[in-house]
Amino acid sequence: MSRMIQKPFFVFNPKSYLFGEELLALAKVADELVATKDIRMFITVPYGDIDRISRNTKHVIVTAQHISGIKPGRGMGQVLADSLYEAGARATFLNHAENPLTLSELINSMERAKELGMTTIVCADSVKEAQTIASLTPDIILCEPTELIGTGKTSDDSYITTTNEAVKSINEDILVMQAAGISTAEDVYRTMSLGADGTGCTSGIVAAENPEQMLRDMVDAVLEGVEGIK
């Protein structure tokens, strides 16, 4: 693996809802939280904002929303991992439902990330897909039924526990993220208390009346959920 990521962790995934100064303001809040709490924080950043967020934060893990499996050279319109790494990205999402990859594309992109030392967060829809991806040894697998993304409806208990166990049975060092439909701090607490290593959120934060407070509440819920299973 590119590096060992400690748990628990939280992924703030603004997708294309936030950019520029508005995103930077929340990134600084996230940076402050990581500096004062025992949690790791990934922020998925639009390509054009990676340098800005990286230069203005110290503790969050700046994360590309995707990389292509190409090396420097030809590849017009592709996403060059080397360029994003130089801009400050230290992790990447891969195979998200909004940007799915074939198996060969996924393998190539993972290899490029590993060559650069970037943490890989790879998305899986089903238990079988999670098991297949686990054999490729990503750092983190996001187990998230596609049909629940953005619905506010979370995965049921059996999906969470089954996918957790399926991944760990193949490689116990892979961290499991469960984040389907997360929209409240209560959802975060429940997910973590069921044994996830981390979780994350998009619309529950960006659409909140007070996104900064929601981010703070969700981070606290991660820690409370972990404490609740000790």
What are the boundaries of each domain within the chain? 9-228
43 token code pair: 């922020």
The β-bridge partners of 124 are 143
CATH number corresponding to 9-228: 3.20.20.70
CA–CA gap between residue 9 and residue 177 (Å, rounded): 9
Mean pLDDT check: name the lowest of 7-11, 74-78, 115-119, 148-152: 148-152
- What single-letter DSSP state applies at residue 209? S
Environment class of 157 (CB within 10 Å of its CB; exposed 0-12, middle 13-18, buried 19+) = exposed
Confidence at residue 155, expressed as pLDDT on a 0 to 100 scale: 60
Q: Which residues of 48-60 are buried (b: 16+ CB within 10 A; e: fewer)?
A: ebbbbbbeebeeb
Task: Output the CA–CA distances (angstroms, integers) from residue 162 to 81, 126, 168, 170, 195, in the order listed.
Answer: 33, 10, 10, 13, 11
What amino acid positions are annotated as catalytic residues?
96, 144
CA–CA gap between residue 157 and residue 174 (Å, rounded): 20
**Contact present, 199 and 11 (Cβ < 8 Å):** yes
Tell me the per-residue pLDDT of 179-229, one tens digit each, with 9 for 90 and over. 878 999 999 999 999 999 999 999 999 999 999 999 999 999 999 999 866
Tell me the per-residue pLDDT of 85-111, one tens digit each, with 9 for 90 and over. 999 999 999 999 899 999 999 999 999
Task: Output the CA–CA distances (angstroms, integers) from residue 174 to 14, 32, 86, 102, 169, in the order listed.
Answer: 24, 27, 26, 21, 10
pLDDT band at 149 (very low <50, low <70, confident <90, very high): very low
Confidence at residue 159, expressed as pLDDT on a 0 to 100 scale: 82
pLDDT band at 170 (very low <50, low <70, confident <90, very high): very high
**Which candidate, 104, 100, 113, places its Cα nearest to that of 71?**
113
Confidence at residue 125, expressed as pLDDT on a 0 to 100 scale: 86
Confidence at residue 4, expressed as pLDDT on a 0 to 100 scale: 61
Confidence at residue 126, expressed as pLDDT on a 0 to 100 scale: 85
Confidence at residue 151, expressed as pLDDT on a 0 to 100 scale: 47
CA–CA gap between residue 197 and residue 178 (Å, rounded): 8
Tell me the per-residue pLDDT of 41-86, one tens digit each, with 9 for 90 and over. 999 999 999 999 999 999 999 999 999 999 999 999 999 999 999 9
**Contact present, 200 and 10 (Cβ < 8 Å):** yes
**Contact present, 31 and 25 (Cβ < 8 Å):** no
